[in-house]
């Protein structure tokens, strides 16, 4: 349990580094916005491409379709529970209510789980988290956007899936498909692991090195945004309710559902790590984009990440 605590603490310390550089005025809002774009358009796609190409074949990818399906189930469970408690918030401002529902729907489904499984379950589990994020991304741009806007999901909503991370996932699947087809045609080089071909190894190593910036950059961006919070943003009844929902009720429901499904143990372990995570760091960015309550979103990220230093080690001690 102590090992899990330390790995959770590591990302919290990176968040604090972001908070510190903002308070010291080393960075400002404009820099934060540019760094956010760099994260979404470069660092995270590079991580997706390298981890998928290094750890999967097309056959193993097809065999693990339960990963994105399971991640989507986790997010849908959060959306459903959030919907149930919305009447409790009827006296709160509409923008806060929408942000609350989004934070119930979406958790930290990639960055923090990647750090945890890398140390606890190995490199292949990192690729499993990345593949599982496909289901979470689809939920983010459908039910997640619906919770922020209050609008029904339509065909236009799915256009939001055209992002660089989703493009990187599509490219990785395309590369694995090409390798599979070439192997079926008897092309010898395609039968080799991607890392053994000099050019392929060089490109994947480049992507891997760029992708390694994903976690610290995301944490620093989040910490920088938190630097503008006031104390009263952190202590309120909606925040207390979200804390119980995000770290206790929603994980309990998601784990209960997952335990009933016929999943392999490695898949179940990865999905359960995802299920117990705090609010998504991206919730602040999404709140800014859709003009809801960004201050509540930033406070929710801070409070749930601080509390998960206790809850994640306890959850994982019993379920892994």
Structural domain count of the chain: 1
**Range among 133-147, 233-247, 255-269 with highest mean pLDDT value:** 255-269
Q: What is the mean pLDDT of the chain?
A: 84
Rg (the chain; Cα; Å): 19
Over 293-304, what HEC string results?
CHHHHHHHHHHH
pLDDT at 261 over 90: yes
Contact predicate 296/269, CB 8 Å: no
pLDDT at residue 192, as a whole number: 46
pLDDT score of 256: 95
The confidence score (pLDDT) of residue 154 equals: 61
165 closest CA partner among 25, 37, 30, 317: 37
CATH of the domain at 306: 1.20.1530
Task: Name the band, by pLDDT with cuts 50, 70 and 90, for residue 197.
Answer: low
Higher-scoring residue by pLDDT: 217, 81: 81
For residue 245, the Cα-to-chain-centroid distance in whole angstroms is: 18
In this structure, the number of other CB atoms found within 10 A of the CB of residue 101 comes to 26
How many residues in total does the chain contain? Answer: 320
pLDDT at 187: 62
pLDDT band at 233, cuts 50/70/90? low
Residues 6+ apart with CB under 8 A from 92: 100, 238
pTM of the model: 0.78
- Please report the pLDDT score of residue 190 as a whole number: 43
Task: Write down the pLDDT at residue 5.
Answer: 73
- 235 and 299 in contact (C-beta within 8 Å)? no
Domain hosting 241: range is 2-319
């Amino acid at each position: 349990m102590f090992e899990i605590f330390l790995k959770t603490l590591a990302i919290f310390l990176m968040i604090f580094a972001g908070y510190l550089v903002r308070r010291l005025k080393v960075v400002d809002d404009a820099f934060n916005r540019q760094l956010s774009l760099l994260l979404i358009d470069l660092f995270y796609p590079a991580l997706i491409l390298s981890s998928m190409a290094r750890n999967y074949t097309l056959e193993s990818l097809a065999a693990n379709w339960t990963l994105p399906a399971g991640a989507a189930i986790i997010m849908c469970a959060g959306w459903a529970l959030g919907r149930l408690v919305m009447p409790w918030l009827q006296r709160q401002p509409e923008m806060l209510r929408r942000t609350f529902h989004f934070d119930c729907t979406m958790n930290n489904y990639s960055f923090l789980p990647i750090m945890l499984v890398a140390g606890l379950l190995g490199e292949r589990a990192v690729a499993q988290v990345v593949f599982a994020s496909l289901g979470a991304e689809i939920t983010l741009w459908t039910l997640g956007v619906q919770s922020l806007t209050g609008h029904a999901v339509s065909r236009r909503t799915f256009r939001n899936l055209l992002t660089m991370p989703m493009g990187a996932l599509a490219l990785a699947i395309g590369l694995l498909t090409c390798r599979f087809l070439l192997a079926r045609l008897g092309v010898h080089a395609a039968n080799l692991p991607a890392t053994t071909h000099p050019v392929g190894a060089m490109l994947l190593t480049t992507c891997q090195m760029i992708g390694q910036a994903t976690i610290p950059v995301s944490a620093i961006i989040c910490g920088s945004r938190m630097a503008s919070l006031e104390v009263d943003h952190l202590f309120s009844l909606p925040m207390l309710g979200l804390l119980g929902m995000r770290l206790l009720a929603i994980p309990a429901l998601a784990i209960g559902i997952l335990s009933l499904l016929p999943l392999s143990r490695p898949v179940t372990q990865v999905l359960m790590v995802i299920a117990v995570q705090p609010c998504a760091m991206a919730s602040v960015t999404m709140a800014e984009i859709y003009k809801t309550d960004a201050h509540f979103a930033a406070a929710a990220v801070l409070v749930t990440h601080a509390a998960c230093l206790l809850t994640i080690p306890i959850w994982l001690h019993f379920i892994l």
